[in-house]
Amino acid sequence: MKNYGLFINGEWIQSKSGKTFETKNPADGQTLAVFQEGTQEDVGKAVDAAERTFPRWRKFPPPKRGEILLKAAAIMRERKEELGKMVTQEMGKVIAEGKGDVQEAIDFLEYISGEGRRLLGETTPSELPNKLYLTLKQPIGVVGCITPWNFPLAVPCWKLGAALITGNTIVFKPATLTPLCAATLVEIFHQAGLPAGVLNMVTGPAEVVGEAIVQHPNIRAVSFTGSVAAGKDIYAKASRMLKRVGLELGGKNPQIVMDDARIDLAVEGVLFGVFGTAGQRCTATSRLIVQEKVYDELLKNLLARTKALKVGDPLDSAVDVGPVASAEQETKILKYIQIGIEEGAERICGGNKLKGSPYDKGFFITPTIFGAQHGMRITREEIFGPVLSVMKVRDYEEAVKVANDVEYGLSSSIYTGSVNTAFRAMQDLEAGVTYINAPTIGAEVHLPFGGVKNTGNGAREAGTEAIHEFTEIKSVFIDFSGKLQKAQIVE
């Protein structure tokens, strides 16, 4: 079993705390590796290394930065099978999704590497002769990246790739549930040629390492993906120091099914949307809003398909749903299932912890469907597990009203055969992402990703917007008239 240190200035070093923690397979409890519990002092060392390296890295030609990211993507492609298995073993998503996590990381690094030859600014004419105006995108400096456990390679690559291509140096804190994937990713970046000190990783608890990153005065920006509560806390503390903060938080994502939809397609979509990654995606379909004319037909088909899902070892390609990520996750999800029962929701299927061999050493919950009424806690609060609330509505207007009546606004979906209804939904649904005749999950890296309301603070990852989180705009005024010219002053 490998014992990892903290990665600072291109070297693995021991933490000052002397404490360690283990990362374990949520399917069988097997320990995969041992990691250091970092301290505030360790974060300070990482910041020092990043600060020393920043002046050189910001001057490193952006196309050359892109070549390093492309090399990292190529290494990941060569190791895709191995890395996919690692994701599955450490996080618990089924092997097809584990490989998908790796592929998404590859896709984004390949995509964002191209920004090294763009980083486009603007040019605009002056009101004065022989004068030109333009803008430049420049790196912020040392940035902190704090990432979740549910996409242990893809989400770090979204943040790290965008921060690196724009010339920033990084202090990286991965989730404590999935540090092995993060450590392997850091090794890959440095194998690809990333200079020492550009990317530094400190593992450990959020209340120590995450807090130190947020509070350090020389970290100029923080990018965070996680819970709403944690995001609000980070935003409040970092904004007092005028730091740039990018937040991607929770979701309570609706899939609407109109009576002119293809029911078979809608059922396929919701199955993947709610039970993919055992429901542990910020974009997971947690609410199914169905027009009353097709409610019974859809629910009958959905129930039959759900009962046929195989739950088990996520490395088995025949398994549809793996374990949830931890004992804490399991406890939270089972608590919400009990809340649903106590609220009077109809438990249509599932809702149990699986026990006995081969489940007794892992965290397995049967796929769960509730017939619910809008306003119940299970229809409003993020559960982050394989739990679906199904609600009946009269028409499009009621469907949209129910869909929007939550504090989140990340992803949304509508199934309909009407182009008019589809285009109305694109405008009406309060979400950063809307799918037409597709589930609420499945974003691709070349479109911006993020949400509205309590899902975030306006930042967007991926796509053409990715670099904005990690760049400052400089306006440049060039006067080649050979004389003093005074804008806005009439003489």
SS3 413: strand
The closest of 45, 109, 40, 124 to 74, measured between CA atoms, is 109
**Three-class SS state of 409:** coil
Contact by Cβ (8 Å): 299, 267: no
Q: CA–CA separation, 215 vs 237, rounded Å?
A: 7
What phi and psi, each to the nearest 5 degrees, are found at residue 393? -135, 160
Give the whole-angstrom CA distance, residue 247 versus residue 225: 6
With residue 390 as reference, give the H or E element that holds it. Answer: strand 387-393
Which one of the listed residues 37, 104, 282, 469 is annotated catalytic?
Answer: 282
Candidates 432, 435, 438; CA nearest to 457 is 432
Q: What share of the chain is helix, strand, coil (3-state, %, to 5)?
A: 40, 20, 35
Q: Is 282 among the residues known to form the active site? A: yes
| Residue carrying structure tokens 């010219």 | 485
- Residue ranges with strand state E in 9-130: 11-13, 20-24, 31-36, 123-125
Q: Report the C-alpha dihedral over residues 128, 129, 131, 132, rounded to 10 degrees.
A: 90
Q: What angle do CA 415, 416, 421 make, to 5 degrees?
A: 115
Q: Where are the alpha helices (DSSP H) in 344-487?
A: 377-380, 396-404, 419-428
Residue closest to 273 by CA, chosen among 253, 301, 298, 249: 253
Burial of 474 (0-12, 13-18, 19+ CB in 10 A): exposed
Task: Tell me the C-alpha to C-alpha distance, in Å, between residue 90 and each of 30, 147, 183, 278, 398.
Answer: 10, 15, 12, 14, 41
Residue 78: phi, psi to the nearest 5?
-65, -30
Q: How far apart are the first and last CA of the chain?
A: 78
DSSP 21: E
3-state secondary structure of 3: strand
* E strand map for 130-205: 131-139, 142-146, 169-173, 199-201
At position 276, the amino acid (one-letter code) is G
DSSP string, 73-100: HHHHHHTHHHHHHHHHHHH---HHHHHH
- Those residues whose C-beta lies under 8 Å from the C-beta of residue 380, and which sit 6 or more positions away, are 252, 406, 407
Active site residues: 248, 282
